[in-house]
Amino acid sequence: MAMKKYNSVEDYFADQTGIHLEILNKIKDLILEEAPRAKSAISYGMPSYTLGKVIAGMYSYKNHVSFYPFEGTLVEKYQDQLEGYKCLKGTIQLDIKKEFPEEIIRQIVKDKLKMINA
């Protein structure tokens, strides 16, 4: 199934509801807390936040919201702390029925910002 095309992050968020929107907003808020100057953009067909380079993207699916830090080493680094979540190369699937791993996602964002600024 092809992903619907959106012109802006705002359009994408406006099309979301319930727990999916709640998780997307949590990710967005974490990114903006750590990088207040980050800009929203559609990157790789999904809502993303950038600061010169892409910090992270996200996309909502039926049973999860995928978080994409676009850096496989970060997913690998925190994989043990994300027990119970499906982790793929460069992607963390946040099951909508599980507690949002806020501090781990925050640390991944901080680490990604260090990589961008290196």
Helix/strand/coil for 118 = coil
pLDDT digits (tens, 9 = 90+) for 56-97: 999 999 999 999 999 989 999 999 999 899 999 889 999 999
The pTM of the full predicted model, rounded to 2 decimals, is 0.93
Task: State residue 106 phi and psi, 5-degree precision.
Answer: -60, -45
Q: Nearest-5° angle of CA 47, CA 19, CA 85? A: 80
Taken in order of first residue, the domains within the chain and their CATH numbers are 9-117 (3.90.1150.200)
